[in-house]
Structure 1
Amino acid sequence: MSYPESRIQRPVYWTQACQDLMQRDRILRKLIPLYRQECIQAHQGPYETLIRIIVGQQVSLALGRKLWHQLAQACGQDLNPDCILAHSESDLRAMGLSLRKAQYVRDAAQYFKQGDRLDPDWWQAQDDAAVMTQLCDIRGVGRWSAEMFLIFFLGRPDVLPLDDTALLKAISHHYFSGEPVSRFEAREVAQAWAPWRTVASWHLWRSMDAAAVEY
């Protein structure tokens, strides 16, 4: 089964979201103009996006990028389920993946290879919760991974990934003077961002990293 490439270039809602967020939030009023020439980007199809998300789970952005490039280099331009499944767990571990992450990558490849349960048209028609429920059937894909897929492949505008440590760190830095922040406190801050919580989250991520976040 073939899948369309991501259509996210500059989301149609991006400009309006930035304007609204700058009116509502004093921190974003300062941050958003710093990255006016940038926006969220997703260059991969759904399979590549999900594999890259799994590879990047629970590691720093820098390490996630390094592991992804190792994997992409091993498969060349043909990063598809068959390519991944042609590599054993030992092969994947030699590229730097942990044993569990190697297992998850192979499981995701097998899931996509079957194909009959993955329909991009269905994703587009469903709400966030329904898409997340389906994705979480894949071993190794939890709430965080599914939220990243909503953001970086489907381009959903109002996702708030409270399991993301980098986002919590950014909220702590900008809104709490570096003091630890709970999920409850982060959710309270984010109330003003709806229905553009994806856009707010991206700018906070961007403010804490030298390179734009991408999957």
Structure 2
Amino acid sequence: MLALSDEELRGAGLSGNKAKALRDLASKIVSGELRLKGIARHEDAEVIRLLSTVWGIGEWTAQMFLIFKLGRLDIMPSGDLGVQNGLRILDGLDGRPSPDTLLLRAEVWRPLRSVAAWYL
């Protein structure tokens, strides 16, 4: 990844921002600054903190990693527009709920909030 040119990455279908994020991720892994081996042993908040040190990776991306790669069952991606729209439909709301409102509403789904998010 680090040896590939920008043109090669664009040729593979990556946008400039995605290429920048992947380069930063690869650089941090190669340097040892980010160690993915054993990351599953960390608490959710720590995984989010570690992954968020990579350019272009924020809370939502880290939450998706927790749900789909690490199989964490109690993650509620409250900033996800699809999840917000799902709750809007479920509860018959006029507009999308705020992330804070969604988190409060999702408390009833603990410890399976990830599963609820899939269905929303």
Identity %: 35
Change (3 A) 1:180 1:120: same
**Alpha-carbon distance, 1:177 to partner:** 4.8
Q: Is 1:173–1:179's contact at 8 Å kept on the other side of the alignment?
A: no
Contact kept? 1:190, 1:197, Cα under 8 Å: yes
* Aligned with 1:170 (options 83, 86, 91): 86
| CA apart distance, 1:154 | 1.1
Task: Letter of the 2:61 partner, please give it.
Answer: S
Listed as ranges, the matches of 1:1-215 within 5 Å are 84-115=1-32, 117-121=34-38, 123-177=39-93, 179-204=95-120
Highest relative contact order (Cα 8 Å, sep 6+), 1 or 2? Answer: 1
Q: Which amino acid aligns with 1:175?
A: D
Partner of 1:209: none
Give the Å deviation of 1:200. Answer: 0.8
- Distance in 1 separating the partners of 2:16 and 2:34: 26
1:92-118 CA-to-partner distances (Å, cap 9, x unmatched) read 234443322221122112223334631
Aligned-residue CA RMSD (Å) = 2.1
CA offsets 1:72-98 (integer angstroms, 9 cap, x no match): xxxxxxxxxxxx334322332344433
* Residue 173 of structure 1: how far off its partner (Å): 2.0
- List alignment gaps of at least 5 residues for structure 1: 1-83, 205-215
Q: Deviations over 1:123-181 (max 9, x none)?
A: 23321111111111111111111111111111111111112112112112222356332
- Between the aligned partners of 2:19 and 2:34, the Cα distance in structure 1 is 22
User: What are structure 2's unaligned runs of at least 5 residues?
Assistant: none
TM-score (norm 2): 0.83
